[in-house]
Amino acid sequence: MSGIEIWDFRSTSGHVSGNDLVGFHVEATDGPIGKVDRLSEEVGARYLVVDTGPWIFGRHVLLPAGTVVRVEQDEKKVYVDRTKDEIKGGPEFERDRHDSDTGYRERYAGYYGPFYGGPVV
């Protein structure tokens, strides 16, 4: 799976820039994980923040846009190519720190990058 830029939506995902995904259900490869709470369309830093609800005790997780394999507008669903355990094992999303922390991308790239042939940080 090399060649995937984790901070950009795949051209095959069906996501069109400007389409709001907030409120869409998110499906991991092995089941539902929550709903999109926030979407960043910033060039070079596209991502989803997913509210996992009771699945992992109300935690929010950040998923780089490259994890998205398909967006179904009619179903209001986003499908990602990671398992629940892989998502649960990712860096914790801390809303208060995230907005002021420029190093967040390195933490997520270090975790998600190797899934796509990126360097291990």
pLDDT tens sequence across 94-110: 777 766 666 788 889 89
Q: Strand pairing of 47-51 and 31-40? A: antiparallel
3-class DSSP assignment, residue 92: coil
CATH class of this structure's domain 25-114: mainly beta
Q: What would the pLDDT profile of 28-65 be if each residue is shown by its tens digit?
A: 999 999 999 999 999 888 999 999 887 667 788 999 99
Strand boundaries in the chain, DSSP class E: 25-28, 31-40, 47-51, 60-64, 68-72, 77-80
* pTM (2 d.p.): 0.89
3-class DSSP assignment, residue 62: strand
Euclidean distance between CA atoms 58 and 20, whole angstroms: 22
Euclidean distance between CA atoms 70 and 98, whole angstroms: 26
